[in-house]
A and B are shown apart, each in its own frame.
Chain A
Amino acid sequence: DQQVKQNSPSLSVQEGRISILNCDYTNSMFDYFLWYKKYPAEGPTFLISISSIKDKNEDGRFTVFLNKSAKHLSLHIVPSQPGDSAVYFCAASAGNQFYFGTGTSLTVIP
């Protein structure tokens, strides 16, 4: 059973606008969350993380928000750029093993 879910398989956004990617999880023991970005024919690469002791982490244009009560996290990209077009995976962990969502394919339209 999927412990980490990304219910939107795809998302299209105009360049310059905000992209919001969502992720839900079921295991309340998860205490560390990551977002990975994946370009075609490449492996996923780490983008940004957040610990359960925080509700927000920001890195340049990328911000991750965590709502523990709702078991929900989101990734905001502002402003979106065409180079951000990729598949984004969220992942959650309660130890050394991370559980991944199914990914959201983001297309930023120039």
Chain B
Amino acid sequence: DAGVIQSPRHEVTEMGQEVTLRCKPISGHDYLFWYRQTMMRGLELLIYFNNNVPIDDSGMPEDRFSAKMPNASFSTLKIQPSEPRDSAVYFCASSPGGGYGYTFGSGTRLTVV
């Protein structure tokens, strides 16, 4: 398995633009997580899905953030409109559940100027 695949690796965008981050989880993993890494809060959970259904989105900072999982092999995290304070590394992770740990993707470094 190629692991969790995220795209793009880097994204630079202007304030106010829409940004879409993509994730392909490991096949057979029922859980998918979106995290944001910042210096202040470390790895911060934004939202997670179980069997394509959003379970907990309480970590989504505000309405500008939205996430979808239309099928078991694809998820998106969208920021519209983007702001400079959204600049961070965004990680996607998947898990088979049952308390097993996560496998992380390589992350998307987002810079909003």
Contact = CB atoms under 8 A, between A and B. Distances in A.
A and B: interacting chains? yes
Contacts of A80: none
Interface stretch (B14-22, B63-71, B79-87, B103-111): B103-111
Contacts of B91: 43-44
Contacts of A62: none
Interface string A76-110: 00000000000001010101111111110000000
Interface string B46-83: 00101000001000000000000000000000000000
Interface string A27-68: 000001010100001111110010000000000000000000
Interface in B17-47: 31, 33, 35, 40-45
Interface in B83-113: 91, 93, 95, 97-99, 101-107
Contacts, number: 58
Given A96-B50, A99-B45, A43 B99 contact: no
The size class of the interface chain A forms with chain B is 20 to 34
A96 B105 contact: no
Contacts of B40: 102
B43 A89 contact: yes
A49 to B, nearest CB: 6
Contact of B106 (A41, A91, A99): A41
B46 to A, nearest CB: 12
Interface SS of B by simple majority: strand
A100 B103 CA distance: 14
A100 B42 contact: yes
A43 B105 contact: yes
Contacts of B104: 36, 43-45
Q: Which of A2, A6, A95, A96 has the most CB of B within 10 A?
A: A96
24 contacts: A2-B41, A6-B42, A42-B106, A43-B6, A43-B104, A43-B105, A43-B106, A44-B43, A44-B91, A46-B101, A46-B103, A95-B99, A96-B31, A96-B50, A97-B33, A97-B56, A99-B45, A100-B42, A100-B43, A100-B44, A101-B42, A101-B43, A102-B42, A102-B43
